[in-house]
Homo-oligomer: A and B are copies of this chain.
């Protein structure tokens, strides 16, 4: 008896930042994430993905990490059998875009307009909150539990907005029938839909990246070789969907000693010329920088 036979498919969330717009690579005019079968010739999953993304888009991927593997029953196809989808998050420096395949880059926030809080709380959230509260109340028995979940996830009733909960928010909206992808969603509440569960995978990628920039120096994978501190801050803000306190951001950056001055300045942006910096790759290849959060005892 042969059990466990299945098709393997790779799906990529490739992220980049242009100015202050975070972007994701798409195919089919923004309707799907790039994906393809896992070929037998590939050395490993990671290598397989690197290869075909390189071929298809001409973009070399700097950082690549596995996101999640799905094999839900609704991914089963009559003809080809069960499909296992392995998703990856890749970070790309955008300037390296050759004219070739002209992959379609789209702004994150086209798909998740409620996630961008840089201009303050998006108005779209009012409608969403109302619909979710309605949904919570629809089942009297679970009402309180649901409402607490809504409040926490969307930062309502005094709770603070938590930018990391991208996936939880999307899933909650899915459950409540507020996204077009959900079968019975009568009145989708906003955000451009995608093929199958691709928007869910994108949400997973964004959530992972938002969490990661806080304890790992991954932003630099998205920056050009030389950059100003403000550019760096704008990139982080773009990813997090939040505005940061400038003096404190700079203090944070230089106490980590991750960057160094190039010695040059740029007069590009109108005001006083800004110093250019570069990331100190070589020196701290491994450096986790994450400290412990446990109350250690010396010993």
The residues of A with any CB-CB pair to B shorter than 8 Å are 2-9, 37-40, 42-45, 66, 68-73, 80-82, 84, 86, 117, 120, 145, 148-149, 152-153, 162-165, 168, 211, 213-215, 236, 240, 242-246, 248-249, 251-252, 285-288, 290, 292-297, 299
Instruction: Please give 20 more A-B residue pairs, beta carbons under 8 A apart, in addition to A84-B84, A215-B293.
Output: A4-B37, A5-B6, A5-B8, A6-B6, A6-B8, A8-B82, A44-B72, A45-B71, A69-B69, A145-B285, A152-B286, A162-B290, A164-B290, A164-B292, A214-B292, A214-B294, A244-B294, A244-B297, A245-B295, A252-B295
**How far is A72 from B80 in the complex, measured between Cα atoms in Å?**
23
In the complex, are the beta carbons of B4 and A214 less than 8 A apart? no
Kindly list chain B residues whose C-beta atoms are within 8 Å of the C-beta of A244. Answer: 294-297
Chain A to chain B: the 6 pairs with minimum beta-carbon distance, closest first: A4-B37, A248-B295, A245-B297, A214-B293, A3-B37, A69-B69
In the complex, are the beta carbons of A3 and B66 less than 8 A apart? no
In the complex, are the beta carbons of B165 and A288 less than 8 A apart? yes
**How far is A252 from B80 in the complex, measured between Cα atoms in Å?**
53
**How far is A294 from B233 in the complex, measured between Cα atoms in Å?**
11
